[in-house]
Amino acid sequence: MNENFKISPSEINKIKPLNQKDKNFRLENLKLFNQQGFPSRNQEDWKFSDINQIFSKNFKNLESFKNESKPKSINFIKEFDHNNILIVNGKLENSEFKFEDKNKIKIKSFNDSNFSINNQENSLINLNNALSNNGLFLEVADNYRFEKAIIIYNVFTDDLKDNLLNNKNKIILGKNSELHIVEYNINQSKNKFIYNTTENVILNENASLKTINLQANQNEGFFYKFSKGKMGSNSNYSSFLFSSGPKFNKIDAEFDLEGENCDCNIKSALFINKDKHQEIKTKINHLVPNCKSYQKIKSVVDAEGKGVYQGKIYVKDIAQKTNAYQLSKALLLSENSEFNSKPELEIYADDVKCSHGSTSGSVDENSIHYLMTRGLSKKQAVQLLVSGFLNEIIGDIKSNSVRKFIENKIEVQLHGY
Amino acid sequence: MLVIKNLKASINNREILKGLNLKINPGEVHAIMGPNGSGKSTLANVLSGKNGYKISGEVKYLGENLNDIPVEERAQKGIFLAFQYPLEIPGVNTNNFLKTSLNTIKKANGEKEIDTIAFLKMVKEKAKELGIDEKILSRQLNVGFSGGEKKKNEILQMKILDPNLIILDETDSGLDIDALKIISDGVNSSRSEKKSFLVITHYQRLLEYIKPDHVHVLSDGKIIKSGTSELALELEKKGYKKLN
């Protein structure tokens, strides 16, 4: 590892308040990180995204923290009514729940080591445990169903440069509760920085959480998010990832299906251009019978872009009647584009329905020709085919206003092609 | 409208068109008949500008040499090919596609683009004439359409784009009699002094509905016989083999 990336234990003293127990925990994790360094391709989980090499290439040194700073004006979404949460460089600034019963919602800034995810093998999680000083804690009371969606404005200020930000989030949905979140990332920095998040999602019995992750713009950020979910019986999780835009982005989601009849959905439409690098890695653990999981990942890779999908479905011996589905489709627009897919099934039960598929290829020449015979230029034809390819995912968003908003955002991103 | 002289086309070093001559005047309907493998679809592909063919000979459209003109410009200049197998384009809304196509062509010709309201009104009328269920127009282009719906959609595109030279590549294949009649009516109502049609077909059946001025027999990459619609009837009785 680049020596510049060793982090001094004295950095931890900058985090306040800090009790001795907390400090020891952080020091322990920092030690683990300093021993291992950033993950590299030698580790199976990172073999298509050698983040050590990527960081070495892009950063000379890293600042562990960032002083408070104010964002420039933000274009808040006007297309549909929503509640909002504003997070600046990882710090919860304010929240407004205009449409809700506020007694049913607990929200606070979150930096509690007690909720840490322990993972000896993932040094980014160690790093997060050692240095995280910000984050969001959100809890929805039992039986409370949100009237409107929450938009989390995740803003990165223009003075970020060579910063390493570590964040922890925790979202808890009580029994029979329901929440829709749009995580809207607005990056005002033109410079490189790292945003390392660990997230804990807990869905109690019969709770329903829908999330959409969207980037407002192209940017130079390097993002890693480890998301650990626990799903109770009859709970429902649905996640849409439209996270095109950052220079690097890896979403690492691990969900434990712990209660019967729960339903876990992950859908993604990515457009990866220039020399951008995106990975979606999932691990869905079917631990009890009668659960469903569904994953559909569609990626368009252009120029020197690189896309990765690693998806694993684990079915425990007692998890009979599991229904698990996984599909990755990639469209490569250039000879230099790359897509790697590694689907895995690990099944110990004998009465299950599991299927997976993975395809990648270039745009169909006959389809291009067909569209060109109707007057479209080759570029227009390819753009239309690409947006059609991704629309299949976007079309699954049920709310008309949200879907239209996302469609427009993606259209703008594709226009840059 | 269209003058083809000694057109040769080969693909993967295999010659398919071996010196084809054809002249179509404005307002005329020409039918090209021929057995499987005679080069009918290749002719349609070559006229549309499809990549991958090695071409020699002369193709002039409205006095302009076509060989160097790219696919989309041919369409913008008024050449339309109704596909034998229209492609399914997932995720692309049929109406949006039709509007994009029409406005691209209008723009290329220096015309004013049509707005959404006027466009939808026009599409609605034309779809009705062709007995197309409006609902399919808000679906993905050709995805899950029946054979008949796909072919009707091609004719709808023809009606919307209003081209000068229309090539119908086996538009009758896979159609039942009712659909065949509707499509033929659609074509016949578009006939005018300014428009020319090249109807490519296996069977005489279509020509009972779309009456051609001239019928040509294509065999082994060449037109071996030309005549009036009588020729089509003769072919139907005797088959292609007798002509060779």
Q: What is the tens place of the pLDDT at every residue in A323-341?
A: 999 999 999 999 999 999 9
- Please state, in angstroms and rounded to a whole number, the distance separating the CA atoms of residues B233 and B204: 7
Taking the Cβ of residue B10 and every Cβ of chain A, the question of whether any pair is shorter than 8 Å is answered with: no
Q: Give me B190's structure tokens.
A: 């578009």
3-state helix, strand, coil in chain A (%, to 5): 20, 40, 35
Mode of pairing for the β-strands spanning A83-88 and A91-96? antiparallel
Residue B237 makes CB contacts below 8 A (sequence gap 6+) with none
Instruction: Tell me the average pLDDT across B152-158.
Output: 95
Contacts of B101 in chain A (CB under 8 A): 371, 374-376
CA distance B46 to A66: 63
Convert A170-208 to b/e letters by CB count within 10 Å (16 or more is b): bbbbbbbbbbbbbbbbbbbbeebbbbbbbbbbbbbbbbb
pLDDT confidence of B233, banded at 50, 70, 90? confident
Q: Which of A364, A366, A374 shows the shortest C-beta gap to B157?
A: A374
In-domain check, residue A374: no
pLDDT digits (tens, 9 = 90+) for B66-94: 988 999 999 999 999 999 999 999 999 99
Instruction: Give the pLDDT band (50/70/90) at residue A116.
Output: low
- Closest partner residue to B91 among A371, A378, A388, by Cβ? A388
- What ipTM, to 2 d.p.? 0.96
Beta strands per DSSP E along A141-188: 150-156, 164-173, 178-187
Residue among A366, A373, A395 minimizing CB distance to B81? A373
Q: Where are the alpha helices (DSSP H) in B3-93?
A: 40-48, 71-76
Q: How many residue contacts between A and B have a Cβ separation below 8 Å?
A: 75
Q: How many separate domains does chain A show?
A: 1
Return the pLDDT at B197. Answer: 96
8 Å CB contact between A229 and A256: yes
Single out the residue of A274, A259, A144 nearest to residue A209, CA to CA: A144
Residue A192: enclosing H or E segment and its boundaries? Answer: none
Site from B92, B107, B158, B167 to mutate, A interface, most A CB atoms within 10 angstroms: B92
Q: Which domain holds residue A157?
A: 3-365
Question: Residue A300 falls within a domain, yes or no?
Answer: yes
Judging contacts by C-beta atoms under 8 Å, the chain A residues touching residue B70 are 372
Nearest CA in chain B to A407: B91
- Residue A391 counted as domain residue: no
The pLDDT, as a whole number, for residue A4 is: 63
Residue A120 in this model has a pLDDT that exceeds 80 = no
Asked if residues B145 and B121 have their Cβ atoms less than 8 Å apart, the reply is no
Q: How many CB atoms lie within 10 A of CB B143?
A: 16
**Span of A114-118, A349-353, A393-397 with lowest mean pLDDT:** A114-118
Question: For chain B, where are the E strands, in sequence order?
Answer: 2-11, 14-24, 29-33, 54-61, 64-65, 79-82, 89-93, 140-141, 165-169, 196-201, 214-219, 222-227
Four-point Cα dihedral A8, A10, A14, A16, nearest 10: 120
- The residue type found at A159 is D
pLDDT exceeds cutoff 60 at B244: no
The 8-class DSSP code of residue A117 comes to: P
Question: Among B73, B72, B54, B78, which Cα is nearest to B2's?
Answer: B78
Q: Which of B49, B86, B104 comes nearest A376 by C-beta?
A: B104
Q: What is the mean pLDDT of chain A?
A: 93
Answer whether residue A385 is part of any domain. Answer: no
B161/A384 CB distance under 8 A:
no
- pLDDT tens readout for residues A188-221: 999 999 999 999 999 999 999 999 999 888 899 9
Instruction: Test B90 with A373 for CB contact under 8 angstroms.
Output: no
The per-residue pLDDT of chain B, averaged, comes to: 92
Strand residue runs (E) in A348-413: 353-362
For residue A314, report the phi and psi dihedrals to the nearest 5 degrees.
Answer: -110, 130
The answer to whether the beta carbons of residues A155 and A215 sit under 8 Å apart is no
Angle in degrees, CA A223, A229, A233, rounded to 5: 155
Which two three-digit tokens encode residue A162? 């060579």
DSSP A145: B
pLDDT of residue A2: 57
CB distance B178 to B10 below 8 Å: no
Residues of A in contact with B100 (CB under 8 A): 376, 380, 384
pLDDT of residue A114: 59
Domains assigned to chain B: 2-243 (3.40.50.300)
Q: What are phi and psi of A306, to 5 degrees?
A: -135, 130
